[in-house]
Amino acid sequence: MAVMSDAAVFSDKDGILVDDVPYNVDPDRIRLAPGVRGGLRRLHERGFRLVIVSNQGGVARGYFTEEVLCGVEERLWDLLRGFGVPLAGFYYYPHDRLGRIKNYAISCTCRKPRPGLFQKAARERHFDLRRSWCIGDSLNDVDAGHAAGCRSVLIDNGNETRWKLSERRVPDYIACDVNEAAGFIMDASGPGRPVRPRVFARQ
């Protein structure tokens, strides 16, 4: 079985890996979402490396400081390490052009749906983006992953409500959780598989 040592799974954090508690930065309240343990373990055994990519506009809005995200990252490390999955990177975007904290009230190429965080991770960690995947719960996640050259799976957990589609915002697959997403990724990543299979039935 092929090992994807230079391939990553870029995952959103809230609502995908952990229960969605809006603007939560308390490590004690961070809990893994259903389906995460089994799905990530399978992907890790196949050789995919896990990278978290997350918009953290709460910094720009003054809800919490950037420094407290260190505790969030440590908690994620601990949770993932508990079932044998290392974290290859934690990339977040603290800016929001509408924020009230002056130094963070800017716009750049990193906030999803822009692909900057994916590209930065690929440069620093030497990932092949065309062999990598994005898992998210909004079409902005899908858009960012495709803009970076990845394939994508949308977790349909109710967080996407607008469904404004374009070529880049059509996911390769829709899953109910990370475990189902992992099964599709593994099946679609075998030798001879097409670069961008497309499955989208949502109206």
pLDDT band of residue 161 (cuts 50, 70, 90) is: low
**Which residue in 12, 141, 143, 177 is the catalytic one?**
12
| CA distance linking residue 54 with residue 56, whole number of Å | 6
- The yes-or-no verdict on residue 193 having pLDDT over 80 is no
pLDDT band of residue 196 (cuts 50, 70, 90) is: very low
Q: Is 186 helix (H, G, I), strand (E, B) or coil?
A: helix
Share of the chain above pLDDT 90, in %: 82
- Tens digits of per-residue pLDDT, 53-81? 999 999 999 999 999 999 999 999 999 99
Domains of the chain: 8-188 (3.40.50.1000)
How confident is the model over 87-106, as a mean pLDDT? 94
Residue pair 73/38 in contact by the 8 Å Cβ criterion: no
**Mean of pLDDT over the chain:** 90
| pTM metric for this prediction | 0.90
**Which residue in 6, 14, 28, 96 is the catalytic one?**
14
Catalytic residue flag (residue 14): yes
Which residues are 18's β-sheet partners? 14, 32
Tokens of 181: 């997403």
Catalytic residue flag (residue 78): no
